[in-house]
Chain A
Amino acid sequence: MAIKTKAGPKKIEISINGKAATVVEGTYLLNAVMDAGYNVPTLCHHKDLTPDGTCRLCLCEVEVNGKKKLVTACNYPVRDQIKVATTTDEIKKHRKNLAEMYLGRWPNVEVIQNIARLCGATDAEKYKSELTDENPKACILCGHCVRACNSFMIQDILGFAGRGIKRHLTMPFGDVDPHCVGCTSCSYVCPTGAIQITDDMNNPVDPELIRSHGMKVNAEMANLDALQNRMREVGTANIVEVMDAYDLLPVHNFKFGKHPDTHKIDSKVMKSKYFTQGAADACWLGCSMACAKAVDDFELKTGPYKGQKVVVDGPEYETAAGGSNMGGFDLDFIVEYNFYCDTYGIDTISFATTMAFVMEAFEAGIITEEYTGGKILNFGAMKETLECLHEMARGDGFGVEVGQGVRRLKEKWVKELGADPGFLQDIGMEVKGLEFSEYVSKESLAQQAGYAMAIKGPQHDEAWLIFIDMVNNQIPSFKDKAEALYYFPLFRIWFGLLGLCKIVWNDVAPADNSKYPPQEAAKIPDHVENYWKFFEGMTGIPVDEDKMLLQAERVFNLQRLMSYYLGYGTRKDDLPPLRAIGPATVEEYLSREERYDRQMKEDMGIDPEARTVEEKLSITRDYRYQQYNKVLDAAYKRRGWDENGIPTVERLKQIGIDIPEVMALLEKPEQ
């Protein structure tokens, strides 16, 4: 268990063997002692595992408030101003006795022989008994494997059996438990070789290389995730309240970035009232991130399965944020719409973004109650939203129209209802026909491009640059942005070529990631290196950054060319609606008037005073599209595409895919 307090960590002055040291409250003493340069013998400690204090060798003397006591340094959390002695005559005596007992029982195990030497224990006969085990690979009950199975994987497949002197590591009844996920962590952490891996499914060139890097991530997940993004506790939904705080949570069809009711749907509520905790929620075997959260025994309130208790997967961030986008600040609603979307086969993102668009249109009077089949679809109309979903499943009613997506609704309403196409274009959150995923991109130019340039449509999995751009202000120039729009999409695509999940790359980071300069740190270099080694361990082919980007760039260009071949995929298809790049309505402008006025003054050099909101809106609009187009130009260029967004032949040659099948895609269609 990690010690948590509301107040956050504080530092404590302690003394180790007479030397002063400063440690963060809750640090385990062994770490403090080793950081101070002292060596303390231990058999059961492992840097990546929660200490268990079973070998007892790391005994140290601690003085608290004048009282001395012996503690095991590995699991003693420093919480007071203590004085520590790491070796006293008494401690030496105890360590020697313990080491002698170890030696008596497992005389031929190398780690024990080393410890015995360190502790001055030489007599292997002293505690020789009928239990003495001569096997050099014998299990010494350190529990590394059991703890790794538990903390790396939340699996508990491995355990001890028996009690007291009969305690031993075994598989139940001597069988192999078929529930084992084969993560191989146990073998990795075993100090004696008592657990051996005998097969690898994928038949990699170098399984050890893969394991050694995979385990690094497992260790981070076990030790750092709880302090970082809490993927194990709440999955991707951990950022609902974060996005709200940064004004990035879509609210009311992306009009706003935050809402006073966000606390009703944030991760705290999900964790305490909905998600089952401490479960092995991995969507593939061996994934230590275990972010596939679920709500157990959820009782449905509507629809054909009303009254039934079901397991609901998620909600993930996008689904929860879809809730806020529709004005549904109620987790019961969000879980219910999540469930029905899943089982009916509906994309929660497209659904929520389309519904939010419908709601805004309803509030603007473009569609009416009559049109929606009697449903009053203001923002926050949760019951009605669910009804639309049930209509989609039944195949009748207004819901089916919603299910055609924003682009087709726009076309239809312009044609059939005479709606203002400009307004619908400004607020309809789609590019290329695909609805936006649930992040507000208004204040991040790079993210606007990341969304609108995404080959398949505005989905964040190709580029998520909001923090780097808007918050960190790390890529201020167009060139910087273009570079980010080159690197990150390619890097992210790379995962899709290998069968890998991206969140393991960036939702947990090594504790010392900040040793890299910010530009680099964003890439999480240690993790990138892990993936190179993973690839090399599997295929035998070493990769580096250039090779990795090249691999991705080929596929990236192939996909762009296929779009082009199908009649899309040029500049005109990469243009976002106004709301994705700035305020689209007076209401929106006024909600952030101070910010927009300031930008007008500072960035555009135009005095906002004495101008009407409509004027200011129009100025902002023009300015922002102009900026957007500049980014587009820079990014196309960096990618080696022409100004219309089409990959150039030179580029295709450079990256080695100027093969006939690909080149044919560039040919003009015969009329």
Chain B
Amino acid sequence: MSDIEKMKTQHRTLTEADFDLVPLNRGYADRILRIDLDKNEISTSAVTQQMKDLWIGGKGFDLWLTLPEIDRNTKWDSSNNPICFSSGPLGGTTSFPGSGKTLITTISPLTNLIIDSNVGGHFGPYLKFAGFDALTVIGKAKEDVIIFVDTVAGKITVETAPEESVDSHLAAEEFTEMYAENDIDKKNIAVVSAGRAAEHTRMGILNFSFWDWRRNAARLKQAGRGGVGTVFRNKNLKAIVIKNRNFTPAWKIEENKVARYVTPKRISLQDSVDDINEIKSIIRKWDNDPEYVIEMMQDIQDRYKHISKTAVDLLCNQTGTPKATIYHIATFYKSFSLEPKGETLIQVCLGTACHVKGAQNVMTSFERSLGIKDGGTTNDRKYSLEGVRCLGACSIAPVIKIGDEVIGSVQAKDVEKILDDYRAEKREQAEEGQVAEDSSMSRIESTGLEKIKIEQEENRARYKGALMVCTGTGCVSAKGFNIYDRLKKELVARSLENDYLVVKTGCNGFCAVGPIVVMQPQGIFYQKVSEEDITSIIDEHLLGGNVVEKLLYKDPQTEQPYTKMNEIEFFTEQQLIALRNKGLIDPENIDHYIARDGYRALAKALEMNPGSIIEEVTSSGIRGRGGGGFPAGVKWQSCKKAMEERDEISYIVCNADEGDPGAFMDRSIIETDPHSVIEGMLIAARALQSTEGYIYIRKEYPLALERLEKALQQARSRGLLGESILGTDFNFDIHIHRGAGAFVCGESTALMASMSGKAGDPRAKYIHNVEYGYRDKPTVLNNVETWANIPEIILKGADWFAEIGSGNVKDNPWAGSSGTKVFSLVGDINNTGLVEVPMGITLHDIVYRIGGGIPGGRKFKAIQTGGPSGGCIPEEMLNMEVDFDTLTEAGSMMGSGGMIVMDDHTCMVDVARYFINFLIDESCGKCTACREGLFALNAILTRITRGEGKEADLERLQELSETVAAASLCQLGGTAPNPVLTTLRYFNDEYIKHIKDKTCPAGVCTELITYSINENCTGCVICAKNCPTSAISGETKELHNINQEECIKCGICLESCKFNAVEVK
């Protein structure tokens, strides 16, 4: 039994009376309640018309009711001194503010005449809702009593109450807890109480409570003047408690047509005490902080595979966040579902690179194998299937994620095997413990940086060489960690562990040929290394002194092998600033970063004055790498100005919500070199006197998240984050927010809404974030790559940076694009991966020199840059020099730097429809232009890909695109039509063919194509075996045939045929 229940058992009812609920009429209940504590008598009387005419209510009623009770000799402590409570005819109104006062009168112990006091809180209105315009209490109880008016039961009682607290902050909570049915019902309880000192003084007050559900506390308002509380205690009243009927909001909303797509069909409740306690403890883990409600929901989703109605209620009550906000979040972010998902989540990446590489077929295949649709869950709740916008592993497209494992280069026919392997793996899975974090790190002063560097160099010199194993996401999906573990094991087995160092590095960039092992300092480059190859590396190379030929990279065209990394064209054309440490350090070891001059820029910045840091960044000309290309220095300067004008603090935020499908440079930078980002933010914080920074990172990047968390922790224990950084008075710390699956949250204002624990609705940017950003404070937001550049700019100087790249930015950052840019090169290209090149390099060089051209000798068709907001650039523009402004002129944009190469198997109408379709799902839906416009565009494009297009549609597409672009609220909508506009501009003939000829020249649009088998068929039956609908007939060694009725155009036959016998027309 709880303490509260025990207290209640001590109550003894002295008297009780039932009462009827009367409907209120014109603000009056027309009834008065009188309680005599001497006689234990409860009575009611009617309100007369004269009372209403002359005295109105409130204090007027109180005085009138006092009149018959007193005589000339009544003193404050006389038994016949009444204490009266009344609301008033307008009291309890909710549609006019300030209508909740209670008026109290009694003879005052200070003045011996009538005192009147008015007070807020819920008592007065609830008294009236119970059917009483006023309450008079007369007489004195012999011991501590309470009066309880229970509107629900229609009963009034006077009870002894010996145990409850007298002090009001406790009494209010105790009585509220005692009489409320549940947490929500607490708002129906109002308590009037005094306090211990009211008993001993003449200036006692009455506290009127109201339940504050957001604070989860009883709040008190005071009837302060004249000693009303003294009289109350003198009557031995401990409390008057009233319980209101549930106050039901009296309104309804018209039903909405789209609600059915969102509202859960089965509402899930979690009744078990264990579940409730666990959910509460998850919420508490985040300090009940409403800004972290999205984080809490991610943990709840991970644990329970859905957000139940119970969880929504608990989140609401524990954090004070309105239910509607939680519901909006739950239905806005893709990570959340209101109905239970399966134990294992299978995500099929439908990002651009994956799309052009046939991800849709992979999805169809999963759908068939699991017997569920995209978004569905198997009946046994084992699997859920979901298409995701981009898993950021575009270089090994098409990609899927099953559980925590990322698998690349998946073909539709592999699906069964993947599921079988996963089931088998799950059975024998044994988790290995991670190495404990070294927490005994010492704090360093700036001079200590040099010491660490020397130590690291000395340490490195003790080894004959270092084997750098790539553990970026691309290589990890190709078992990179296994290579690392095996290498260590084999070295130990041969007692070579003191001769050769093995280092887990972040992404090397050349994802196409992973897993990668690089022998340093010689720079010998081994590609596509398997576990079995490790013995060769050790035996032939380390022990034998010969390079392992079979693991060397060979030029795809010439077949010429290359031994050293710096001889391969993929690397030679690059210039590394943001990726300066790639493949050279262990991202999980801060000392490796320091050894490469890490945090020296911070040390330098700490000696510069804040203004000159900003000047340095401005004159470097660096423009934001997140897409817009806004000069970073100008942004910082505006932030500083806003801070000064308003005398405000500022926040530093890193946008790591890399959303563009086809782009993964931010993920790679964090996985490779997290400290470069942290250091960049520290420098900005120093320049802007900020003490708090945030990194908003996609939850879909677990490895990056893990490394970031480790890096922050190491930086803290090294004294590089937190208080007194590097022994100075500079304080700054960084916190992480995990994005929950919403592309639009890459937009700065949506990102900040999301960081505040809300759905990611953007707002107009006429007022910039640098003025009113996170928590309405001046905020600098830059993306990962921009931050990674900052330390180098400070260390090597603005001039050094400004000279790299295009244009002359020294005096005007808009006059060109300085520095380098990291691009993710994916799609139909040989050397997929991550490259960093100086601004101004031609597209041609990127595609043919670095990228190694199109595989299978196919024809280049277009290069798509800038993600869904970008456009498709045709072959005739390949000589274009790439920078922010040229791309924009071409109708595309830099975006975050995704480059998807498309060969002649790509249908440009389908590409346009693909992007629009992607964005319909990702638009926040706030503004009409984007929400309705994209929906309308999609309808037209879909019509065209089905061969139902009309010529007038082209004009309508153009016009609608222009309206969406011009009228959208944020840049998501503003740039959304770019793929449509650029394909209309550069590939108009393809549209015409779809509309007029009803054909899809690239063989993509399923409604317009047929699969057939030609004379090349050898009758190997592989296609027939693989066909999911058994549409292929034919005996062994005989020409096969496709039954068009049954063919679903999934393309598996085409994939599996080795004889070029399957044709698409």
Contact = CB atoms under 8 A, between A and B. Distances in A.
Q: Tell whether any CB of A sits under 8 Å from a CB of B in the complex.
A: yes
Contact of B194 (A345, A348, A534, A566): A345
A554 B118 CA distance: 19
A191 to B, nearest CB: 13
A515 interface: no
A644 to B, nearest CB: 16
Contacts of A54: 926-928, 969
A460 B66 CA distance: 24
Interface stretch (B96-104, B348-356, B513-521, B887-895): B96-104
A202 interface: yes
B217 to A, nearest CB: 5
B199 interface: yes
B229 interface: yes
A219 B929 CA distance: 28
Contact of A163 (B322, B921, B935): B921
A95 B226 CA distance: 64
A354 B198 CA distance: 15
Contacts of B921: 163-164
A159 B327 contact: yes
Interface in B97-140: 97-103, 107-108, 110-116, 118, 120-122, 124-125, 128-129
Contacts of A194: 253-254
B323 A179 contact: yes
A195 B253 contact: yes
B90 A499 contact: yes
A161 B327 contact: yes
B57 A199 contact: no
B252 interface: yes
A483 B252 CA distance: 49
A661 B54 CA distance: 13
Interface string B754-768: 000001000110110
Contacts of A197: 250-251
Contact of A161 (B25, B224, B322, B331): B331
B1059 interface: no
Contact of B252 (A55, A195, A562): A195
A1 B928 contact: no
Contacts of A461: 118
Contact of B324 (A137, A172, A394): A172
B26 interface: yes
Contacts of A282: 97
Contact of B94 (A57, A183, A213): A183
B325 interface: yes
Contact of A177 (B90, B118, B233, B324): B324
B450 interface: no
B403 interface: no
Given A177-B249, A434-B226, A165 B920 contact: yes
Interface string A327-346: 00000000000010111111
Nearest to A406: B110
Given A127-B936, A283-B221, A567-B112, A403 B925 contact: no
B328 interface: yes
Given A182-B94, A493-B59, A501-B98, A456 B67 contact: no
Contact of A499 (B89, B215, B220, B923): B89
Contact of B931 (A138, A165, A181, A568): A165
Interface stretch (A288-296, A439-447, A598-606, A616-624): A288-296
A395 B166 CA distance: 13
Contacts of B827: none
A207 B95 contact: yes
A426 to B, nearest CB: 20
B963 A93 contact: yes
Contacts of B929: 56, 98
B60 A568 contact: no
Interface string B238-254: 00000000111111111
Given A283-B121, A286-B97, A311-B217, A558 B64 contact: yes
A178 B183 CA distance: 11
Contacts of A393: 167, 195-197, 200
A670 B259 CA distance: 78
Contact of B219 (A167, A217, A311, A402): A311
Given A345-B207, A565-B72, A5 B200 contact: no
B112 A568 contact: yes
B170 interface: yes
Interface residues of A, number: 179
A612 interface: no
Contact of B95 (A211, A432, A530): A211
Contacts of A129: 935-936, 939
Nearest to A160: B328
B544 interface: no
A286 B99 contact: yes
A292 B120 contact: yes
A538 B90 contact: yes
Contact of A568 (B113, B187, B253): B113
B761 to A, nearest CB: 8
Contact of A56 (B24, B96, B968): B968
Contacts of B742: 163
Contact of B224 (A94, A167, A344, A348): A348
B167 A343 contact: yes
B219 A296 contact: no
Interface in B492-550: none
A493 B63 CA distance: 13
Contact of A98 (B252, B259, B928): B928
B646 interface: yes
A164 B932 CA distance: 9
A457 B54 contact: no
B1038 interface: no
B759 A160 contact: yes
B922 interface: yes
Contacts of A590: none
A525 interface: no
Contact of B27 (A166, A204, A279, A559): A204
**Taking each of A52, A77, A104, A407, which has the highest tally of chain B beta carbons within 10 Å of its own beta carbon?**
A52
B95 A286 contact: yes
A201 interface: yes
Interface centre among B197, B771, B966 (most CB of A within 10 A): B197
Contacts of A437: 225
Given A4-B646, A538-B93, A554 B54 contact: yes
A22 interface: no
B464 to A, nearest CB: 56
Contact of B122 (A155, A199, A284, A539): A284
A588 interface: no
A97 B327 contact: no
A569 B967 CA distance: 71
A167 B967 contact: no
A202 B94 CA distance: 9
B826 to A, nearest CB: 26
B195 A404 contact: no
Given A202-B93, A457-B226, A496 B58 contact: yes
B925 A162 contact: yes
A210 B931 contact: no
A351 interface: yes
Interface in A153-208: 155-174, 176-188, 193-205, 207
B409 interface: no
A72 interface: yes
Contacts of B46: none
21 contacts: A52-B926, A101-B932, A163-B922, A179-B184, A183-B95, A187-B251, A202-B89, A203-B24, A214-B93, A284-B121, A287-B99, A289-B98, A347-B226, A403-B201, A405-B201, A456-B114, A502-B98, A535-B89, A538-B90, A567-B72, A568-B112
Instruction: Give the 7 A-B residue pairs with the shortest CB-CB distance, closest first.
Output: A284-B100, A499-B91, A403-B201, A345-B195, A499-B88, A167-B925, A283-B120
Given A3-B771, A294-B212, A342-B207, 7 more contacts: A55-B928, A93-B963, A349-B225, A395-B200, A402-B201, A457-B110, A504-B98
